Structure 1
Amino acid sequence: MDEPRDPAQAQDEIELAVEGALRPASLAEFVGQHKVRAQMQLLLEAAAMQDRPADHILLSGPPGLGKTTLAMIVAHESGRPLRLSSGPAIQHAGDLAALLSSLTPGEVLFIDEIHRMARSAEEMLYLAMEDFRIDIMVGKGAGATSIPLDLAPFTLVGATTRAGLLPNPLRDRFGFTAHLEYYEPDELEKVVERSATMLGVGVPAHARAEIARRSRGTPRIANRLLRRVRDYALVHGGADRASTGPRGGPTATQADVNAALELYDVDRIGLDRLDRAVLDALVHRFRGGPVGLSTLAVSVGEEGETIESVVEPYLVRIGFMGRTPRGRIATPDAYAHLGARHPESVLGLHDL
């Protein structure tokens, strides 16, 4: 008898399936990252004309900007199969050897968070990328023997959110390195428009702009907010709007967008509950800082890595948080957003 499924796990699987369905299948459908798209198009066309696997590709940048999608597009436009893996899953050289030796000629291997691979696996990857060969050690001690194993030519697409953690010998073996930038609001509007059509929800231009404005420059967040707006419109829209969108789906108004995002604690510039908790602690509990990352994380009940990788990049990008040798500080803009008075304003230091 099958065990009952965890509702949270089932919901996560549904979200992943929907996110996968919204991914563009070609560079022509991919919105934004114009320079990277043009560079990759040239790379893939040159490889196709010479009937060879494309050069190895390294994609870096914050989460949610399309690194996995671009890897899938490389495989699709090359007409090659795609193998998916991740750095945390490759913790021994043997793990990588088993993966590489099973690749078919021309296959595209995608390794997400490649900077988190074990060091022994990284060193094995050097030779595999350059000469399509690995050395397998058999035996131990003085009797150990190295056996070379030839690999089928392949294309490695590595993705990382922290390119600085990659060792130089590994980074230098990629034939093409691209850094993905945050999206502009007009680009995110196009993402929302395309996704809304695929989801069968009608979203007027002003409502699309509002979703884009709160999406933190990230398509993944834009699609997630769109799905929540769709759900709100479906539940609260009433019979008059329940089937007026594309494919008989609901139509979401500006009021639906505002109400849905307020319900999910996403404010007018895209800050969520955790973002505001961090800012509130920094401003009120620590008087603007400086404060250490670990102390800040404990004060809001989160892991330091979560604060550093999820919350901090956006707060620094929009000028609400600063990083100093002594710790994190809140800027005057952060005080203004929370409706608090900055100490310099109280003391009149801004007039000096």
Structure 2
Amino acid sequence: MSENLSGAPEGDGSYDATARIIDPGGDAEDRRFDAALRPRRLADIAGQPRVKDQLSLVLEAARRRGVPPDHMLMSGPPGLGKTTLAMIIAAELEVPIRITSGPAIQHAGDLAAILSSLAEGEVLFVDEIHRMARPAEEMLYLAMEDFRVDVIVGKGPGATAIPLELPPFTVVGATTRSGLLPAPLRDRFGFTAHLDYYPASDLAQILTRNTVLLDVDSTRQGIEEISGRSRGTPRIANRLLRRVRDYAQVHGEGVVDLSAARAALELFDVDARGLDRLDRAVLEALCRRFDGGPVGLSTLAVAVGEEPDTVETVSEPYLVREGYMVRTPRGRAASMMAWEHLGLVAPPGTPGQQLPLGDGPGRFNQ
């Protein structure tokens, strides 16, 4: 059964994104902004050239053969465009797309309801696919390989398995933690793409495109200031663009320029290196309270007033990637870059310090 006109999801928790009608009572500006965020075609994507070339080849080959393409797995950190790519795949193939998520599929019956409603060639997008329940994963194995599911009727010795044939379809899975995918499920994807962080130049191109679509005036310096603080993530870049636009409209002349960008990002606690309030709180705790560490994750989370999962999944990946934090067997430690960023003097032995190479008693001279 297709989605109703109000845009409500189906009873199985999925929804047909191609049939979705946004509530006309919603905020028109939000709808306009959200529509501008997602490119509609592969050619519209800025960045990820390797993934674009690979995906273009897979889709073109499938079109020429007249069959659905292989199942595809998109992996990478949050905010890099995995959902956008899934929608582009359906648009390029000119087929409907049904969207659900791993946490929403906790029983095999949930997945069976979704699979049984798929049309031939349809794309099934499963976000956070690594969080599916194990019984549903085992059903998905068979569905992806043989395009059928076995529906169990009854219980106990009298239970009967009724095979249900499915039309050919394509599963597009997205995951931020591909290592948690069971090997049997991972092996059933014919194409795997890993999305990397975007360079600032690609983010600037994305932001420039969005300002044009939104009819927002901007300058090159303003766009570059936002892209340089966006942590290589389009989702963050677009969120910062909204805040700078708001600041420019309220306190400026409505133009996203350098002065508006700097003032707005300072107001929202995003510094020149893209570190936000939580990032700096973690570094402050490491350096000022624990002398640079190492310190355990739970202790560090208590020191900044956050849950350990929040520190580990929100702040830590960027701090480690940029070299501000080091993960050691004994816990988290601040690097030399962290001390310098905070304007503090690092104690001897800080990770990243230059080791003595002169005539002194350094270990390279012994």
TM over 0.5: yes
Q: Which residue of 2 aligns with 1:98?
A: 113
Q: Which residue of 2 aligns with 1:7?
A: none
Q: State the distance in 1 between where 2:346 and 2:26 align.
A: 42
Of the three residues 296, 317, 337, the one matched with 2:341 is 337
Q: SS at the partner of 1:280? A: helix
Deviation at 1:101, TM superposition (A): 0.7
Q: SS at the partner of 1:302? A: coil
Q: Which amino acid aligns with 1:30?
A: I
Q: Which residue of 2 aligns with 1:172?
A: 187
Alignment check: 8 A CA contact 2:230 2:236 kept = yes
Q: State the distance in 1 between where 2:303 and 2:248 align.
A: 36
Of the three residues 166, 176, 179, the one matched with 1:151 is 166
Which residues in structure 2 correspond to 1:288-307 (within 5 Å)? 288-307=292-311
Q: State the distance in 1 between where 2:29 and 2:138 align.
A: 37
Q: Which residue of 2 aligns with 1:205?
A: 220
Taking a change above 3 Å as real, the CA distance of residues 191 and 58 of structure 1, as seen in their structure-2 partners, is: same
Q: Does 1:310 align with 2:314?
A: yes
Alignment check: 8 A CA contact 1:203 1:251 kept = yes
Taking a change above 3 Å as real, the CA distance of residues 286 and 17 of structure 1, as seen in their structure-2 partners, is: farther
Q: Which residue of 1 aligns with 2:87?
A: 72
Q: Which amino acid aligns with 1:53?
A: P
Deviation at 1:214, TM superposition (A): 0.2
Q: Which residue of 1 aligns with 2:20?
A: none
Q: Does 1:224 align with 2:228?
A: no
Identity between Structure 1 and Structure 2 (%):
63
Q: State the distance in 2 between where 1:60 and 1:16 align.
A: 27
Q: State the distance in 1 between where 2:321 and 2:35 align.
A: 28
Q: Which amino acid aligns with 2:237?
A: A
Which residues in structure 2 correspond to 1:202-281 (within 5 Å)? 202-237=217-252, 241=253, 250-281=254-285
Q: State the distance in 2 between where 1:15 and 1:262 align.
A: 24
Deviation at 1:21, TM superposition (A): 3.1
Alignment check: 8 A CA contact 2:36 2:214 kept = no
Q: State the distance in 2 between where 1:330 and 1:12 align.
A: 44
Q: SS at the partner of 2:217? A: coil
Structure 1: gaps (5+ residues): 1-9, 242-249
After TM superposition, the structure 1 stretch with the greater mean CA deviation from structure 2, 324-333 or 336-345, is 336-345
Taking a change above 3 Å as real, the CA distance of residues 345 and 176 of structure 1, as seen in their structure-2 partners, is: closer
Q: Does 1:323 align with 2:327?
A: yes
Q: State the distance in 1 between where 2:246 and 2:290 align.
A: 39
Alignment check: 8 A CA contact 2:223 2:257 kept = no
Q: SS at the partner of 1:156? A: strand
Taking a change above 3 Å as real, the CA distance of residues 131 and 16 of structure 1, as seen in their structure-2 partners, is: farther
Q: Which residue of 1 aligns with 2:21?
A: none
Q: Which residue of 2 aligns with 1:51?
A: 66
Aligned Cα root-mean-square deviation (Å): 1.9
Alignment check: 8 A CA contact 1:22 1:198 kept = no
Of the three residues 144, 153, 163, the one matched with 1:138 is 153
1:274-300: CA deviation from partner (whole Å, max 9, x where unpaired):
111111111112221111222212221
Q: Which amino acid aligns with 1:263?
A: L
Taking a change above 3 Å as real, the CA distance of residues 297 and 11 of structure 1, as seen in their structure-2 partners, is: farther
Of the three residues 93, 114, 120, the one matched with 2:129 is 114
Deviation at 1:13, TM superposition (A): 10
Deviation at 1:20, TM superposition (A): 4.0
Taking a change above 3 Å as real, the CA distance of residues 227 and 177 of structure 1, as seen in their structure-2 partners, is: same
After TM superposition, the structure 1 stretch with the greater mean CA deviation from structure 2, 214-223 or 284-293, is 284-293
Deviation at 1:18, TM superposition (A): 2.6
1:101-140: CA deviation from partner (whole Å, max 9, x where unpaired):
1111111111111001101111111000001111111111
Taking a change above 3 Å as real, the CA distance of residues 63 and 329 of structure 1, as seen in their structure-2 partners, is: same
1:213-270: CA deviation from partner (whole Å, max 9, x where unpaired):
1000001111111111111111112xxx3xxxxxxxx312211010000000000010
Q: State the distance in 1 between where 2:70 and 2:122 align.
A: 12
Structure 2: gaps (5+ residues): 1-24, 357-361
Q: State the distance in 2 between where 1:21 and 1:349 align.
A: 47
Deviation at 1:12, TM superposition (A): 10
After TM superposition, the structure 1 stretch with the greater mean CA deviation from structure 2, 280-289 or 97-106, is 280-289
Q: State the distance in 2 between where 1:140 and 1:125 align.
A: 21
Deviation at 1:349, TM superposition (A): 8.3
Q: Does 1:188 align with 2:203?
A: yes
After TM superposition, the structure 1 stretch with the greater mean CA deviation from structure 2, 131-140 or 74-83, is 131-140
TM-score by length of 2: 0.87
Q: SS at the partner of 2:326? A: strand
Alignment check: 8 A CA contact 1:90 1:96 kept = yes
Higher helix share: 1
Q: Give the count of matched residue pairs.
A: 331
Taking a change above 3 Å as real, the CA distance of residues 153 and 272 of structure 1, as seen in their structure-2 partners, is: same
